[in-house]
Chain A
Amino acid sequence: MTLRGRHNSTNTLVETASFLVVRLGASYLALPAAGVRGVLTEARHTQSVTALGDIYHPVDLAQRLSVIADLSGLEMRTVLYSNDHAQGAIRVEQVVGLTDVERKDCFPLPAQFQGDEQHWFMGMMLYQDQLVLILNPAWLLGGLGVGVAASVRQTEQISATPSTVGESC
């Protein structure tokens, strides 16, 4: 893991949220850091990854976002990510860094974005002068359920998304 440094807020009294910032194509994306289980350097193109007894199924984020990405570079990483329901191995072009962001510095996606992206992103923020889109973990891992029970959970997650979209962090 070659993180470029952690940027902490100096005021510990303010409410902050932690993110892992990654790059995919021209897009900078943030994953809520609580779900990050590890970052792998080796290429695992389509295989699942097993770590500490958990199976992380591959997530083709570039394809799901319709982003053109070059995943053959030296800085390509696989982020192992999980929530309460599923685990995913997400390949990104670059892991940019970890950051703590005050919740007031997270903004909702502008209302002019009216398509599926409302489910993809919980909001946005600025990081090192870059616009960063905050990924919605429920959507990100939503397609990874196995079996009937998992499918029901997935449906519940997706249907619950709109009410959480306003909460940018």
Chain B
Amino acid sequence: MLRATRGQQQAQATKRTWNMVLFSVGGIKLAARTEDVGGISPWTRSISVPSRTPFVHAMLKRDHDVIPVYDLATRLSRTLQGDPLLCLVARHLDGPMAICIDAEVPSLETVDVVAIRPSGSEDIETLGMVTIGGEDVAIVALQRLGRSRPDVVKS
């Protein structure tokens, strides 16, 4: 019992930092919690799917799976940069979801939780903002990306 309590305390102590994947979409730096990222690989041609869901109009074949594509670049009104582009697989609550990101190879960062502040922008689902390398970076809530768009909630 005492050991378990100590273990819980240690676990709480280690949760004071978040491990982040830092990536970019159309030149905008974004971050995501590492546990929300299922992997990063070269982008392959997506398959167009007739759809009325905002920013979900394609699917991607990965090995024996087919996963939906979320067009984050279009949502942010940005044009993807570099070649070859990369695929970030988000661990979305509805299942894995592919996002095409810039060719710039993502990096890993550790962020102190107290440095995370609320996001002032409602452009995208975030877990907050953090300053990395002197640049303000939104922490994208990959698990619920596309779930809380105002036009979806209100309809």
Contact = CB atoms under 8 A, between A and B. Distances in A.
Nearest to B52: A115
A112 B95 contact: yes
A155 to B, nearest CB: 20
Interface string B55-92: 01001010000111010000000000000000000001
Interface residues of B, number: 21
A117 interface: yes
B47 to A, nearest CB: 5
A152 interface: no
Given A117-B49, A117-B53, A111 B66 contact: no
A134 B38 CA distance: 28
A114 B51 CA distance: 9
Given A124-B66, A126-B66, A131-B66, A113 B95 contact: no
A25 B146 CA distance: 27
A120 B66 contact: no
Give the interface size class of chain A: 20 to 34
B44 interface: no
A131 B52 contact: no
Interface in A102-118: 107, 110-117
A108 to B, nearest CB: 10
A162 to B, nearest CB: 16
B50 A67 contact: yes
A161 B48 CA distance: 23
A112 B66 contact: no
Contacts of A163: none
B56 A113 contact: yes
B49 A112 contact: no
A157 B70 CA distance: 31
Contacts of A115: 51-54
Which of A65, A107, A114, A124 has the most chain B CB atoms inside 10 A of its CB? A114
A112 B56 contact: yes
A117 B95 contact: no
A65 B48 CA distance: 12
A110 B68 contact: yes
A26 interface: yes
A79 interface: no
6 contacts: A111-B95, A112-B94, A113-B53, A120-B50, A124-B66, A131-B47
Given A107-B66, A113-B56, A115-B54, 8 more contacts: A25-B48, A66-B50, A110-B68, A110-B94, A112-B70, A113-B49, A115-B53, A117-B52
